[in-house]
């Protein structure tokens, strides 16, 4: 058994050494602090398993010895054998009636005896000698053999129990360490931001502006930490807006969509504005290339009258609307419409948590013609909801996004934060129901300005005492290029 000792300043480093040296199945024997360090005694899994089967040369590996008893002398056995032979050869005498002692002939010169009490004669059955057992030299008694399988099972069970207890204790210890780390990070972050507010008050002002505009605390913390020194609040805000504008990816003209053409599918949750956005894009294509170069396809066969809205738009534009139900119908429709310059597909809306989202994406990707998906993001949704939507609809073939319901949003920093974080390419911005007027190319600079302009008076809702607590819970953010 090779027990090894590991020492390190912290328990995490000591456990890492144990894992590197003995593997993840090592058995922890002891854990104690010594001289400012943590000392761990550990045993490899193979060494622990060897306890179940003792070595061949060890005392446990040898069979139990026989008990040596003193043997009887050979002459005693010979005497017993001769007696047995004589008893077997002697003839049995017939049973005789018992006579009184007075009737027996007396021996010459015998002393006179008193008269015996007469006894009635007893008839006895002829006796037979019992069969004598054949005795032989006593065999050497054997001690009970050790049940090695039982011992092995007991040792293995003990080792497994020790491992389970060690794993449970390790899990509890790691949870406690994580909790302690979180508490320390929170307290240190609060202390750090408290001192930052006193030393650099312009950072606190910029932080309040970003939080009020709807940007996440993680993005705001990262940008505020990267603020160049020696700037006032106005210069700091200009720097922040410049960085945000640089990280918003958007198309500069419609050639990537209208001129190049192809097959585009608008996807997203229910009620996000996919059908209206499809009609707006169709009107732009008709104005550029004519109705004969455009085809409309709808897959929304679930809602009552859902495809009628797109059919009305198609009738106004002079474009035929095709309805498909599954992947086979879509493949046939795309094959028949392969001579069209642009094909727009209006998909059925479904929740980002619905398992049908994956089936819808598989249907679009299963066609012979490559389909580019445009994700419609509702500007009125919360940042957590938008993150779930992007994660559900993301994947191969997602060309970009369209921001919808911009006119209904009280703040748009939430959707801009998601676009920056997920590195989406923004195509259009929709700010109304009019077709096709309320569809515009995305301008990053204007969107950033609008985000801060909508919440000019909301920055006062964050007090200086709230900022350290908000920043202490913000996660690390490493997805912004400062340029």
Q: Is 240 in the same domain as 260?
A: no
- Summarised one tens digit per residue, pLDDT across range 388-403 is 898 888 877 788 899 9
What's the rounded Cα separation, in Å, for the pair 456 and 209? 8
Q: Residue 397 falls within a domain, yes or no?
A: yes
Q: Are residues 258 and 395 in the same domain?
A: yes
Gyration radius of the chain over CA positions:
49
Q: Give yes or no for a contact between 13 and 30, defined as CB atoms under 8 angstroms apart.
A: no
Q: Which residue has the higher pLDDT, 214 or 134?
A: 214
Residue 437 and residue 300 share a domain: yes
The more confidently predicted of residues 340 and 116 is 340
Q: What is the pLDDT of residues 451-474, one digit of tens each?
A: 888 765 554 455 555 555 556 555
**185, 187, 372 from 398: Cα distances, Å:** 38, 41, 6
Residue 480 has pLDDT above 70, yes or no: no
**Residue 404 located in a structural domain:** yes
What is the per-residue pLDDT for 114? Answer: 47
Is the pTM higher than 0.75?
Answer: no
85 in a structural domain: no
pLDDT for position 403: 92
Average pLDDT over residues 201-213: 81
Cβ proximity of 274 and 439 under 8 Å: no
Q: Which of 28-37, 72-81, 146-155, 286-295 has the lowest mean pLDDT?
A: 72-81
CA 286 to chain centre: 50
CATH number at residue 393: 3.40.50.300
pLDDT over 60 (residue 422): yes
HSE toward the beta carbon, residue 50, CA cutoff 13 A: 11
At CA 431, angle to CA 428 and CA 437, rounded to 5?
Answer: 80
Claim to verify: residue 297 and residue 426 sit in the same structural domain: yes
pLDDT of residue 72: 45
The Cα 299–Cα 361 span in angstroms is 12
User: Domain containing 25: what range?
Assistant: 3-52+148-173
Q: What percent of the chain has pLDDT over 70?
A: 68
pLDDT given for residue 120 in this prediction: 47
- Structural domain includes residue 12: yes
CB neighbour list of residue 239: distance below 8 Å, 6 or more residues apart:
227, 228, 231
Is 346 a residue whose pLDDT tops 50? yes
Number of domains composing the chain: 3
**Cis status, amide bond into 364, omega within 30 of 0:** no
Model confidence at 102: pLDDT above 50: no
Determine the Cα–Cα distance for residues 295 and 289; give it in Å rounded to an integer: 12
How high does pLDDT run on average in the chain? 75
Looking at the structure, do residues 220 and 313 belong to the same domain, yes or no? no
Cβ atoms within 10 Å of 20's Cβ, excluding its own: 10
* Residue 117 placed within a domain: no
Between residues 99 and 63, which one has the greater pLDDT? Answer: 63
Give yes or no: residues 310 and 380 share one domain.
yes
Span 285-343, pLDDT tens digits? 998 888 898 999 888 766 656 677 888 888 888 888 888 888 888 888 888 888 888 99
pLDDT of residue 416: 92
- How many other C-beta atoms can be found within 10 angstroms of the C-beta atom of residue 231? 16
Span 431-442, average pLDDT: 86
Which backbone phi and psi does 66 adopt, to 5 degrees? -75, 150
Q: Is residue 75 part of a domain?
A: no
> 44 and 17 share a domain?
yes
Q: With CA atoms as reference, report the closest residue to 364 among 340, 388, 348, 342.
A: 348
Residue 254's Cα: distance from chain center in Å?
A: 44
pLDDT of the residue at 182: 72
Per-residue model confidence (pLDDT) at position 83: 47
CB contact at 8 A, 334 and 361: no
pLDDT value at residue 94: 45
391 and 336 share one domain:
yes
CA 214 to CA 384: how far, in whole Å?
12
pLDDT the model gives residue 255: 75
Report which of 405, 399, 358 is spatially closest to residue 381, judged by C-alpha positions. 405
| Region 55-66 average pLDDT | 54
User: Does residue 166 share a domain with residue 312?
Assistant: no
**pLDDT tens digits along 261-274:** 888 989 988 888 88
Select the more confidently predicted residue: 182 or 157: 157
Residue 151 pLDDT exceeds 60: yes
Rounded mean pLDDT, 191-199: 60
**Which residues are within 8 A (CB) of 481 and not within 5 positions of it... i.e. 6 or more apart?**
246, 247
Same domain, 237 and 261: no
Model confidence pLDDT, tens digit, residues 225-245: 888 877 787 888 899 999 999
Residue 93 confidence (pLDDT):
44
**HSE-CB for 479 with a 13 A CA cutoff:** 16
Burial of 392 (0-12, 13-18, 19+ CB in 10 A): buried
User: Domain check: are 288 and 270 in the same one?
Assistant: yes
In Å, how far are 218, 231, 235, 407, 438 from 247, measured between CA atoms?
A: 15, 22, 19, 23, 25
Q: Are 266 and 283 found together in one domain?
A: yes
Q: Which of 417, 349, 425 is nearest to 387 (CA)?
A: 417
In a domain, 96, yes or no: no
CA angle 412, 413, 416 (to 5 degrees): 90
Give a yes or no: residue 400 inside a domain: yes
Q: Determine how β-strand 249-250 pairs with β-strand 425-430.
A: parallel
The whole-angstrom separation of Cα 61 and Cα 146 is 10
Residues 6+ apart with CB under 8 A from 203: 196, 197, 224, 227, 236
């Amino acid at each position: 058994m090779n027990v090894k000792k590991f020492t390190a300043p912290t328990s995490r480093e000591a456990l890492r050494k144990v894992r590197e040296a003995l593997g993840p199945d090592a058995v922890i024997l002891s854990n104690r602090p010594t001289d400012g360090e943590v000392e761990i005694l550990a045993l490899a899994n193979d060494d622990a398993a060897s306890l179940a089967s003792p070595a061949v040369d060890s005392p446990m590996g040898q069979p139990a010895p026989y008990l040596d008893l003193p043997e009887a002398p050979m002459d005693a056995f010979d005497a017993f054998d001769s007696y047995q032979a004589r008893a077997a050869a002697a003839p049995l005498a017939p049973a005789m009636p018992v006579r009184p002692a007075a009737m027996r002939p007396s021996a010459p010169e015998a002393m006179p005896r008193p008269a015996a009490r007469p006894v009635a004669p007893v008839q006895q059955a002829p006796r037979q000698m019992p069969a004598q057992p054949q005795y032989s030299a006593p065999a050497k008694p054997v001690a009970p053999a050790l049940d090695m399988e039982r011992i092995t099972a007991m040792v293995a069970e003990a080792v497994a129990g020790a491992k389970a207890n060690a794993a449970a204790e390790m899990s509890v210890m790691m949870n406690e360490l994580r909790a302690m780390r979180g508490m320390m990070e929170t307290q240190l972050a609060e202390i750090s931001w408290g001192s930052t507010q006193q030393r650099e008050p312009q950072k606190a002002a910029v932080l309040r502006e970003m939080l009020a505009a709807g940007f996440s605390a993680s993005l705001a913390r990262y940008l505020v930490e990267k603020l160049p020194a020696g700037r006032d609040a106005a210069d700091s805000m200009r720097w922040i807006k410049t960085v945000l504008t640089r990280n918003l990816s958007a198309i500069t003209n419609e050639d990537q969509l209208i001129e190049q053409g192809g097959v585009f599918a608008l996807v997203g949750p229910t009620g996000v504005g996919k059908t209206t956005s499809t009609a707006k894009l169709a009107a732009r294509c008709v104005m550029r290339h004519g109705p004969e170069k455009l085809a409309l396809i709808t897959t929304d066969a679930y809602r009552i009258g859902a495809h009628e809205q797109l059919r009305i738009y198609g009738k106004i534009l002079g474009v035929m609307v095709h309805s498909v139900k599954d992947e086979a119908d879509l493949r046939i429709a795309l094959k028949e419409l392969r001579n069209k310059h642009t094909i727009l597909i209006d998909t059925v809306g479904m929740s980002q948590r619905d398992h049908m989202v994956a089936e819808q994406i598989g249907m679009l990707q299963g066609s012979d013609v490559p389909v580019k998906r445009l994700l419609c993001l509702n500007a009125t949704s919360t940042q957590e909801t938008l993150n779930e939507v992007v994660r559900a609809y993301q994947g191969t073939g997602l060309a970009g996004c369209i921001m919808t319901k911009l006119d209904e949003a009280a703040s748009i920093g939430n959707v801009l934060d998601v676009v920056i974080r997920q590195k989406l390419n923004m195509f259009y911005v929709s700010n109304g129901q009019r077709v096709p007027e309320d569809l515009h190319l995305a301008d990053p600079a204007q969107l950033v300005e609008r985000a801060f302009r909508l919440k000019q008076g909301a920055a006062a809702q964050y007090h200086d005492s709230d900022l350290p607590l908000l920043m202490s819970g913000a996660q690390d953010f490493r997805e912004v290029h400062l340029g």
